[in-house]
Amino acid sequence: MRSHKNTVQTEGDDFSLSYHCPYCQQVLLSRAPYKNEVWESSICCHHCEMIIYSIFYHNRVDAFRLTAN
Ligand SMILES: [Zn+2]
């Protein structure tokens, strides 16, 4: 039997952070890092397709615009 590891879970802690895109203000969801981890990455908003520089903490996300506008 194949495992279903790639199935997106809608319950549990897999997607436990929600935050707002700094461009379009739509809600984005993300997995949360473990308590002592911080993730930095530039992600593409799937609503407006702008690049967001994001710092993910265990319980929050800081999201920044990369452009002045
Ligand atoms: Zn957006």
pLDDT for residue 29? 94
Q: How far, in Å, from the CA of 44 to the mean position of ligand 1?
A: 8
AA identity, residue 18: S
Domain boundaries, the chain: 17-65
Residue located via tokens 């993910």: 56
pLDDT for residue 16? 87
Q: Which residues surround ligand 1, an ion (CB under 5 A)?
A: 21, 23-24, 45, 47-48
Q: How far, in Å, from the CA of 20 to the mean position of ligand 1?
A: 8
pLDDT for residue 54? 97
pLDDT for residue 12? 56
Q: How far, in Å, from the CA of 23 to the mean position of ligand 1?
A: 5
End-to-end, the C-alpha distance of the chain in Å comes to 51
54 neighbors 29 (Cβ within 8 angstroms): no
Mean pLDDT per 10-residue interval, the chain, length 69 residues: 50 76 96 94 96 96 85
Query: 42-48: long-range contacts at Cβ-Cβ below 8 A with a sequence spacing of 24 or more?
Result: 42/66, 45/21, 47/21, 48/21, 48/23, 48/24
